[in-house]
Structure 1
Amino acid sequence: MPTTTYAGSAVPVDDEGFFTDPARWTEPMAEQIAKEAGIDTLTDRHWIVIRFMREQYAAKGTGPTVRVLGKTSGVSVKELYQLFPKGPAKTAAKIAGIPKPRGCI
C-alpha cells in the first residue's frame, strides 16, 4: 500500500491518494493536502465542510455526496463548487483525510 507524507508524518493512502486510516489525519495535514489540490488557503467555510465530512464519515462510514453536503452542511451546493472547484465531495474528502465517498468518480 502506498504512503504519502503530510506534515512530517507518513500515512497510508490508496492509489488515488485518499487516506486508508482516517485516524492518522491531523488538521495541519489539511493545509498541505489543500495546496496540492489547488486551494491556497483554507477559510472558515472550508473548515465547516471538512469537519462535516469527518463527522459524517465517523457516523456513517462514508463521506456525504455533494447533494447531501449542500443540504445538511450549512454550505450551499453553489458555494461548495466555489470552495472546492475540482469536485466538492471528492476534494473535501481528500482534504478531510477520509476515503473517497461512494459514488465519486
Structure 2
Amino acid sequence: MNPTVVMMLALAVGTYAFRLVGPVLHGRVEIPPRAQELLSAGAIVLLAALLATGALTEGGGFAGWARPCGVLVGGVLAWRRAPFVVVVLGAAGTAAVLRAAGVA
C-alpha cells in the first residue's frame, strides 16, 4: 500500500476512535472541577490565538492594518449583538474602505 493511503487510514481510525471515546466513557470518568476550568481556559486561549494569527498575519508576515481594523469592527459589532450579516458586512466593508484608501 501507498504510505499516504496508510497514513490517511490511520488518521481516519484515530479520528473515529477519538469521537467514540466520548459517548463510551460518558458517566464513567469523573473530571475534577479544576481540570474542567483549565480545559475551558485552554479553549479560550486557543481561540484567541487562532483569531490573532488569522487577523494579523498573511503569508508569514504582517497582514497590514486593514484586516485587523476590520476584525476589530466586526468584534465590536458582535459584542454589541448586531446580527451576523451586519457583523460580516461591517468587517468586510471596513477592510475594503481602508484598502481602497491606500491603507495596506
TM bucket normalised to smaller = 0.3 to 0.5
Give the TM-score of the pair, scaled to structure 2.
Answer: 0.33
Give the TM-score of the pair, scaled to structure 1.
Answer: 0.33
The structure with higher relative contact order (CA 8 Å, sep 6+) is 1
More helix by share: 2
Larger CA Rg, structure 1 vs 2: 2
